[in-house]
Amino acid sequence: MIVAGEASGDLHGAALAGALRRLAPSCRLFGMGGRGMAAAGVELLADVTAIAVVGGSEVVGRLPALLRTYRTLAAALAKERPAVLVTIDYPDFNMRLARAARRAGIPVVYYIPPQIWAWRTGRVRAIKRCVSLVLAVFPFEVPIYRRAGVPVELVGHPLVDAVASAPSRQAARAALGVEAEATAVALLPGSRRDEVERLLPVMREAVQRARATRPGLRVLVAAAPTIARSLLDRHLGSLGGESIVHEGTHAVVRAADAALVTSGTATLETALLGTPMVVAYRVSAASAALIRTLVRVPWMSLVNNVLGRAVVPELFQEQVTCERMGTELVRLLDEPAARSAQRDGFAELAAAVGAGGVAERAARLVLGRTGTAA
């Protein structure tokens, strides 16, 4: 059983499923994911689009759907008794499911584990009790888990594989109809409805400010598969008629000169693709207070956290205004030194997250927990 709870997890679950199919063609794969995992041969018992939420208080409105989904998957664990449960990110949901698997005597492999280095460090005790093997994606995670007595293997970050097939800047621009000499900005408003509703209107207004001195500025919007096109169109407003909305995130990012990115996996993805960015995040007041209380690191983006310094500008909560975002965007577009400084950091980041072949390394370790030779 493979369980992913959002668009990025579906992407990585699909790559893992493909590797499992290649190494063990007869294995049956089922669980929760999205279109990517379904296309890779995973029988979906639940769809990620039904439960994707962000923050603490935002979860309340989706609790009934979350509970129904949990019960469906827990019942499948008990009935189908898979050789192993693979959980991908989405820690609040997946840790509860891991406990159910432990009670049923089913080994659990956690791929892209909870970020205990950033917040909720006490969660490592629950991981030790419920998880048979952690597949770490960052080198610095390994000693943290080993000190806690949790079995861990470093596989690298799956985005390394995902971006390997991204088009070149020239090919991406040709595919999206962006002229070679044009200046283009990518908008990555997130893969959850709450994120899009809170951030896309601010991104739109920031772009409008930049357009005041750049009337030819092109706008490319990365549409997550978990987000309805109607939602994007509504929040893009008048900007929508001049924008290119495309589900190919890699093409959108590669074609752009700069990007406005919702904090999350997309920041790491954008960095690996080499596009300078401004990172933003906004949640409810209650969730923001919780984050400020629990988070132990000074940055919110994966890029800055992995590098250990502020390489990309971050706007959180009350800082997320069209004025601030517009100013940071214009600085990136106007100052070659600002773009170069980010790209230098991105080169360090690429070296830190490991080499390709991540999905196959992960798949071999998963199969090792089932007793299947790979």
Residue 13 shares a structural domain with residue 33: yes
User: Which tens digit of pLDDT belongs to each residue from 266-277?
Assistant: 999 999 999 999
pLDDT of residue 51: 57
Report the distance separating Cα 270 and Cα 267, nearest Å: 5
pLDDT of residue 290: 62
Residue 171 shares a structural domain with residue 295: yes
Rounded mean pLDDT, 77-82: 96
pLDDT of residue 246: 85
pLDDT of residue 248: 87
Q: What percent of the chain has pLDDT over 70?
A: 92
CA distances from 165 to 162, 254, 276, 307, 335 (A): 7, 12, 20, 24, 29
Residue 248 shares a structural domain with residue 346: yes
| pTM to 2 decimal places | 0.83
Report the distance separating Cα 130 and Cα 98, nearest Å: 6
Residue 281 shares a structural domain with residue 338: yes
Residues near 135 by beta carbon (within 8 Å), at least 6 away in sequence: 109, 110, 111, 112, 113, 152, 153, 155, 362, 365
Residue 153 shares a structural domain with residue 179: no
Residue 318 shares a structural domain with residue 258: yes
Confidence tier at 90 by pLDDT (50, 70, 90): very high
- What's the structural domain count of the chain? 2
First and final CA of the chain: distance in angstroms?
18
pLDDT of residue 373: 55
- Cβ–Cβ under 8 Å, residues 39 and 11: no
Report the distance separating Cα 201 and Cα 220, nearest Å: 15
Q: Is the pLDDT of residue 39 over 70?
A: yes
Instruction: Indicate which CATH number applies to the domain containing 113.
Output: 3.40.50.2000
pLDDT of residue 54: 47
Residue 122 shares a structural domain with residue 234: no
**Please, what sign has the CA dihedral across residues 318, 323, 325, 328?**
negative
- Cβ–Cβ under 8 Å, residues 32 and 9: no
Of the listed ranges 165-169, 329-333, 351-355, 358-362, the one predicted with least confidence: 351-355
Residue 106 shares a structural domain with residue 188: no
Residue 235 shares a structural domain with residue 361: no
Q: What percent of the chain has pLDDT over 90?
A: 71
Residue range of the domain that includes 75:
2-157+354-370
Residue 246 shares a structural domain with residue 341: yes
For the chain, what is the mean pLDDT? 90
Residue 57 shares a structural domain with residue 151: yes
pLDDT of residue 49: 66
Confidence tier at 300 by pLDDT (50, 70, 90): confident
Q: Is the pLDDT of residue 314 over 80?
A: yes
Largest CA distance in the chain: 63
Residue 173 shares a structural domain with residue 91: no
Rounded mean pLDDT, 332-355: 94
User: Which tens digit of pLDDT belongs to each residue from 240-291?
Assistant: 767 888 888 999 999 999 999 999 889 999 999 999 999 999 877 777 666 6
- Distance from the Cα of residue 338 to its chain's centroid: 25
Confidence tier at 239 by pLDDT (50, 70, 90): confident
Q: Is the pLDDT of residue 313 over 80?
A: yes
pLDDT of residue 55: 44
Token pair listed for 222: 């990365």
Token pair listed for 13: 């679950």
Q: Is the pLDDT of residue 144 over 50?
A: yes
